[in-house]
Copies of this chain bind each other. A is one copy, B any other.
Amino acid sequence: MQQLIRGEMLHFLSDPGDPAPGAVAAGYQHFNDGGMLIADGRILLCGPWNDVAKAAAAGTSCIDHSGCLILPGFVDTHIHYPQTDVIASPGHGLLDWLERYTFPAERQFIDQDWGIEVAEFFCDELLRNGTTTALVFGTVHPQSVEAFFSVAQRRRLRMVAGKTMMDRNCPDYLRDTAKSSYDDSKRLIDTWHGVGRLGYAITPRFAITSSDAQLEAAGALAREYPALPVHTHVAESPAEVAWVKDLFPWSRSYLDVYDRHGLLRPRSVLAHCLYLDDVDRRRMAASGAAAAFCPTSNLFLGSGLFDLRQALDAGVRVSIGTDVGAGTSFSMLRTLACAYQVAHLKDYVLSPLRSFYLGTLAGAAVLGIDDVIGNFLPGKEADFIVLDPCATPLLGRRMAVAQTLEERLFIWLTLGDDRAVKHTYVMGVAQSVRR
């Protein structure tokens, strides 16, 4: 059974970089009057409406979103679902915030039913905001991941998640061991990875809360499952960096701790990367590991300013994370607006095209799933969103005088929020979420 979608469409084939105003950028396709032909949740064809309509089987129905912009669903490459209820809790820096709010909140996830309840709300929020894929931290409890995957599976969402590994420097009630974290992770991998649209990420929280033995266990998993993402944090705050230096006196740098344990490779996603040096950046680039830039979180916790241009210039792969609950919004639009600001403070003007690339295809690529999501090439899963240019009076007024695609993209990311995401489609099906 085929389905046609009509509307203005934009998707990326590669990084468009930062084209000069007026210059023609490469790396993307844009159809003012576009069409998408879908069958069994997958894209058969995307292109100019006339071409796509001709390719459709006779009698194929069409959903017309003309007047709106259709984009691939956003990919959020760093978020903690158990911190949904911690959002907007003020901490005096990362470590204080973890102690006071986050660890107590994570404790509740020993109860799988609680995990399911939170995961349902969390997935609703993602979809309201147009995020169709995320790289998600669970808690230390394997059942938190069971809960999350069961919810994502029922909704047919493409999600990547993992059980947090943490065996020290945290409350007893959140502590596993090197062995139990290995065993639990392995069992979860064997149960869930590759089942439907689900993927597993090996997930040590960060070097502070993992002993060398546990990091070695994570490295062993990484060797056993070479295709799996690795998901962790690095160099988020100065106090954290200093503590890591104490804990791992043998290491050249914080990043080096992960490197020695074999955790840097393609599909490794390291949140934050604020305090890396040139050697670290070169190592990131050479290894294929990616930096998840989480601007709202970095500003909220006062962690610092990520130097986006420096990372890109060094060849480091970069994607975007909301990092809820330290991040202040589930919205990729608001997160990209914040990314623009943080880059601007570092004297780098991030282009709107590159912003949307970072929020879509780049995220899929760092997770190694750009063969199935991230743009509208034939065969991709039909996860896409419909952006409304008139979601608020201000957005509508401003959009009415915008002239170029780049201007409109910039207006959406600057003024938009969940309201600008009119529809979110998963595998070709419009999702209904609370408004």
User: B414–A345 contact, CB under 8 A?
Assistant: no
Question: Which residues of chain A in 334-376 are interfacial with respect to chain B, using CB atoms and an 8 Å cutoff?
Answer: 337, 340-342, 344-347, 349, 352
Would A85 and B397 be within 8 Å (CB), given that A90-B349, A410-B90, A414-B328 are in contact?
Answer: yes
A392 close to chain B: CB less than 8 A: yes
Q: Which of B87, B92, B349, B410 contacts A415 (CB 8 A)?
A: B87
User: A344–B394 contact, CB under 8 A?
Assistant: no
User: B304–A345 contact, CB under 8 A?
Assistant: yes
User: A124–B393 contact, CB under 8 A?
Assistant: yes
User: B349–A92 contact, CB under 8 A?
Assistant: yes
A299 close to chain B: CB less than 8 A: yes
User: A347–B415 contact, CB under 8 A?
Assistant: no
A383 close to chain B: CB less than 8 A: no
A344 proximity list for chain B (CB < 8 A) = 299-302
Q: Which of B299, B346, B397, B411 contacts A121 (CB 8 A)?
A: B397
Q: Identify which of A301, A329, A344, A401 gathers the most chain B CB atoms within 10 Å of its CB.
A: A344
A140 to B95, CA, bound (A): 51
Instruction: Output the least CB separation between A197 and chain B (Å).
Output: 24
A124 proximity list for chain B (CB < 8 A) = 393
A349 proximity list for chain B (CB < 8 A) = 90, 92, 302
A125 proximity list for chain B (CB < 8 A) = 393-394
User: A87–B394 contact, CB under 8 A?
Assistant: yes
Question: Which residues of chain A in 405-420 are interfacial with respect to chain B, using CB atoms and an 8 Å cutoff?
Answer: 407, 410-411, 414-415, 417-418
Q: Which of B89, B328, B393, B398 contacts A434 (CB 8 A)?
A: B393
User: B85–A415 contact, CB under 8 A?
Assistant: no
A123 to B35, CA, bound (A): 40
A384 close to chain B: CB less than 8 A: no
A291 close to chain B: CB less than 8 A: no
A413 to B347, CA, bound (A): 28
Would A87 and B398 be within 8 Å (CB), given that A349-B92, A415-B328 are in contact?
Answer: yes
User: A341–B299 contact, CB under 8 A?
Assistant: yes
User: A88–B410 contact, CB under 8 A?
Assistant: yes
Q: Identify which of A330, A341, A398 gathers the most chain B CB atoms within 10 Å of its CB.
A: A341
Residues 129-149 of chain A, each 1 if its beta carbon lies under 8 Å from chain B, else 0: 000000000000000000000
Question: Which residues of chain A in 311-348 are interfacial with respect to chain B, using CB atoms and an 8 Å cutoff?
Answer: 328-330, 337, 340-342, 344-347
Q: Which residue of B lies closest to A350 (CB)?
A: B90
Instruction: Output the least CB separation between A355 and chain B (Å).
Output: 10
Q: Which residue of B lies closest to A329 (CB)?
A: B415
A398 to B345, CA, bound (A): 31
A414 proximity list for chain B (CB < 8 A) = 87-88, 300, 328
User: A417–B415 contact, CB under 8 A?
Assistant: no
Q: Which of B85, B397, B411, B415 contacts A401 (CB 8 A)?
A: B85
Would A330 and B88 be within 8 Å (CB), given that A344-B300, A347-B302 are in contact?
Answer: no
A414 to B89, CA, bound (A): 9
Instruction: Output the least CB separation between A294 and chain B (Å).
Output: 13
A43 close to chain B: CB less than 8 A: no
User: A299–B345 contact, CB under 8 A?
Assistant: yes
Q: Which residue of B lies closest to A414 (CB)?
A: B88
A89 proximity list for chain B (CB < 8 A) = 407, 410
Would A398 and B88 be within 8 Å (CB), given that A121-B393, A393-B125 are in contact?
Answer: yes
A394 to B85, CA, bound (A): 9
User: B85–A411 contact, CB under 8 A?
Assistant: no
Q: Which of B304, B346, B415 contacts A88 (CB 8 A)?
A: B415
6 additional A-B residue pairs with CB within 8 Å, beyond A87-B415, A302-B349: A88-B410, A88-B414, A121-B397, A128-B393, A299-B345, A330-B394
Show 6 A/B contacts (Cβ-Cβ < 8 Å), sorted by A: A87-B398, A87-B415, A90-B352, A302-B345, A304-B345, A328-B414
**3 tightest Cβ-Cβ pairs between the two chains A and B:** A302-B344, A88-B414, A299-B341
